[in-house]
Amino acid sequence: MTTIRAVFEAMDEFAPFSHQESWDNSGLLVGDPQAPVTKAVVTLDITKAVVNEAKTEGAQLIVSHHPVLFHPAKTFLSDSVPYQLAAAGIGAICAHTSLDVAAGGVNSCLADRLGLIRQRPFVWENTRFYRKLVVFCPHEYTDRIHCAMKEAGAGTLGDYAGCAFVSSGEGRFLPLDEAKPFLGKPGEWEYAKEDRLEMICPPSKVEAVLAAMRKAHPYEEPAFDVFETTALADSDSLGLIGFLDAQQQPEEFAGYIGQRLRAGGLRYVPGQRPVKRVAVLGGAGGDTVTKAVAVGVDALVTGDVKHHQLLEAMEAGLTLVDAGHFSTEDVVVEPLCSRLAARFPQVVFHKSAVFGDPARYWTASR
Ligand SMILES: [Zn+2]
């Protein structure tokens, strides 16, 4: 039996919720983690129509990109979507900025849909720094503890695994009456030959590494320190840069984007040079125009661009395509659906048939 928790954990593995922005609210937002799931709807947003769709189809879960609860709610009334979900016993897992930055998430899917090759990061986000873990252990146990910490994720530095520094010294302690010491006796000072074992660790793995260390350590109360460092461990990339197969003129490029994204319409600023190197950022990415100009791409494809950002692109000669929030993010829904269906073959996942671009486009005839 597949539970909502199992789907949540699969999402967390693929697009870790810990990678969301501090202002975001991604996670399991409505529902009972223990509830079984046989059918689920995958959608960009959870609207009332999507809740009704899930109800009609007997789905117990909706997986969405935009959070169904975002600003703190002061009421919880029957006309609100979270209430309707809860009343129908339908869970909601929302993966917002965690899905934006994931490999295979919004921006990967957008770059893939546009056929961009040689993809690399556009904007670095969520920079995380290493922690330094220092553990004091009896000399004979150093290898065992080192190995356990390595297995749990400490000590990886570039292409090197298990990196550590070990120095020897003397540990001193006085076991109190209640203690059950591995070395020495209660009430008597113990002087032990100990090693100081140091390893770096990404912040996301500190808890697992400490748990593994405690398991491998013979002491009742292992002594250890966790230091913050300023050495870069990892970052997420928001948006991607890649190359088109062949360069296109700005006008042609705008049409290409519209077709590839099956957009109802789009706005664009034609740049002053052909387009080959392209930055993409799904959703609201107008504030990255400056960055796109700085890194020298020929075009930026995003959504929700403001007037002054269009002007900034025009002045800089950058081709800027505002293909809309919906079209630049909807690209993730089908691949996410397929990924979940492959992971849980016993559950039916389908893309919402009722949620689409809320905008309609009107064009003046030329
Ligand atoms: Zn969005």
Residues 28, 116 within the same domain: no
* 307-354 tens-digit pLDDT: 999 999 999 999 999 999 999 999 999 999 999 999 999 999 999 999
Least confidently predicted of 14-18, 52-56, 120-124, 134-138: 120-124
Please name the residues in contact with 179: beta carbons below 8 A apart, sequence gap of 6 or more: 186, 220
CA 304–ligand 1 middle distance (angstroms): 10
Taking residue 277's Cβ as centre, other Cβ atoms within 10 Å add up to: 16
CA 239–ligand 1 middle distance (angstroms): 13
- What CATH number is attached to the domain comprising 251? 3.40.1390.30
Residues 120, 248 within the same domain: yes
CA 105–ligand 1 middle distance (angstroms): 12
Least confidently predicted of 7-21, 134-148, 233-247: 233-247
Helix 142-151, helix 206-216: angle, nearest 10:
150
Asked which of 210, 234, 258 is the last residue of a domain, the reply is 234
Residues 307, 163 within the same domain: no
CA 331–ligand 1 middle distance (angstroms): 11
Please tell me the predicted confidence (pLDDT) of residue 365: 66
Please tell me the predicted confidence (pLDDT) of residue 22: 86
Do residues 41 and 75 lie in contact, with contact meaning Cβ atoms separated by under 8 Å? Answer: no
Please tell me the predicted confidence (pLDDT) of residue 157: 84
CA 326–ligand 1 middle distance (angstroms): 7
In a domain, residue 90? The reply is yes
CA 285–ligand 1 middle distance (angstroms): 10
Residues 116, 242 within the same domain: yes
Please tell me the predicted confidence (pLDDT) of residue 125: 72
Asked which of 234, 256, 280 is the last residue of a domain, the reply is 234
Read off the pLDDT band of 366 (50, 70, 90): low
Buried b or exposed e, range 12-24, using 16+ CB within 10 angstroms: bebbbbebbbeeb
Instruction: Give me the residues paired with residue 192 across strands.
Output: 171
pLDDT, mean of residues 12-16: 94
- What CATH number is attached to the domain comprising 222? 3.30.70.120
In a domain, residue 360? The reply is no
Residues 143, 230 within the same domain: yes
Please tell me the predicted confidence (pLDDT) of residue 322: 98
Domain that holds residue 147: 127-234
Flag whether pLDDT at 104 surpasses 90.
yes
In a domain, residue 13? The reply is yes
Residues 15, 41 within the same domain: yes
Residue 229 corresponds to which tokens in the numbers above?
A: 């460092």
3-state class (DSSP) for residue 76: coil
CA 104–ligand 1 middle distance (angstroms): 16
* 76-102 tens-digit pLDDT: 999 999 999 999 999 999 999 999 999
Number of domains in the chain: 3
CA 79–ligand 1 middle distance (angstroms): 23
Protein residues within 5 Å, CB atom, of ion ligand 1:
283, 329
In a domain, residue 365? The reply is no
Flag whether pLDDT at 127 surpasses 80.
no
CA 114–ligand 1 middle distance (angstroms): 18
Residues 184, 118 within the same domain: no
CA 58–ligand 1 middle distance (angstroms): 27
In a domain, residue 219? The reply is yes
> Is this structure's pTM higher than 0.85?
no
Read off the pLDDT band of 202 (50, 70, 90): confident
Please tell me the predicted confidence (pLDDT) of residue 173: 94
Please tell me the predicted confidence (pLDDT) of residue 40: 98
CA 325–ligand 1 middle distance (angstroms): 6
Residue 33 CA, chain-centre distance (Å), reads 20
Cα four-point dihedral sign 251, 257, 260, 261: negative
3-state class (DSSP) for residue 268: strand
CA 253–ligand 1 middle distance (angstroms): 23
Torsion angles phi and psi, residue 316, rounded to 5 = -90, -5
Residues 148, 277 within the same domain: no
In a domain, residue 153? The reply is yes
Residues 121, 253 within the same domain: yes
CA 278–ligand 1 middle distance (angstroms): 20
Residues 212, 345 within the same domain: no
* Mode of pairing for the β-strands spanning 27-30 and 91-94: antiparallel
CA 83–ligand 1 middle distance (angstroms): 22
Region for 42 from its dihedrals, namely left if φ exceeds 0, alpha if ψ lies in -120 to 50, beta otherwise: beta
CA 330–ligand 1 middle distance (angstroms): 9
CA 303–ligand 1 middle distance (angstroms): 9
Asked which of 199, 218, 234 is the last residue of a domain, the reply is 234
Residues 193, 151 within the same domain: yes
pLDDT, mean of residues 205-214: 96
Give dist(CA 90, CA 82) in Å, integer: 9
Do residues 234 and 205 lie in contact, with contact meaning Cβ atoms separated by under 8 Å? Answer: no
CA 153–ligand 1 middle distance (angstroms): 32
In a domain, residue 53? The reply is yes
Give dist(CA 101, CA 103) in Å, integer: 7
CA 6–ligand 1 middle distance (angstroms): 25
Q: For the chain, give the mean pLDDT.
A: 95
In a domain, residue 284? The reply is yes
CA 110–ligand 1 middle distance (angstroms): 13
Give dist(CA 245, CA 204) in Å, integer: 37
Please tell me the predicted confidence (pLDDT) of residue 194: 97
pLDDT, mean of residues 275-303: 97
pLDDT, mean of residues 254-270: 97
Residues 315, 335 within the same domain: no
